[in-house]
Amino acid sequence: MDYDYQGPRAEGDRALYDLLMLDNVARNGGPLHGVGVLDQAELAAAVAGYRWFGLDARAGAIESVAAEASRIDQEDPDSLPTAAVLEERADDLYFGEQGGDLIGPAFEQKLAENPDAFADPAPVGP
């Protein structure tokens, strides 16, 4: 195990790491929750990661949801209906007809096209 590891080193690894930060939260609490809990730098990195993998529609959906969410006052009870509509829209945009299974195929395609963009896996064992 590499205890000195400071995160992904290769461009593809970084893009994958960044988009998975958002995807993991979105799968657990929904994409609206995801754009709410990531800070601006993490969100921008996630969007860039989606774009790097050619998932521009997903990146655009994330940006759109984040922009709309920033205009909703979560403390105002009158904004609850607007937030509920946005949450449903965010789910539709993020998961869409294909569901959430866009990352795997995009990763496989990028790996096949540009294997040097990804670090070699660490050896397993002592």
pLDDT at residue 126 in the model: 62
pLDDT at residue 104 in the model: 92
pTM to 2 decimals? 0.83
pLDDT at residue 99 in the model: 59
State phi, psi for 91 to the nearest 5 degrees: -60, -45
How far is it, in rounded angstroms, from Cα 37 to Cα 15?
19
C-alpha 42: how far from chain center:
9
Residue spans of the domains in the chain: they are: 11-115
- Which residue positions in the chain have pLDDT lower than 50? 1-3
Amino acid letter, 122: A
pLDDT at residue 44 in the model: 97
pLDDT at residue 12 in the model: 94
pLDDT at residue 122 in the model: 62
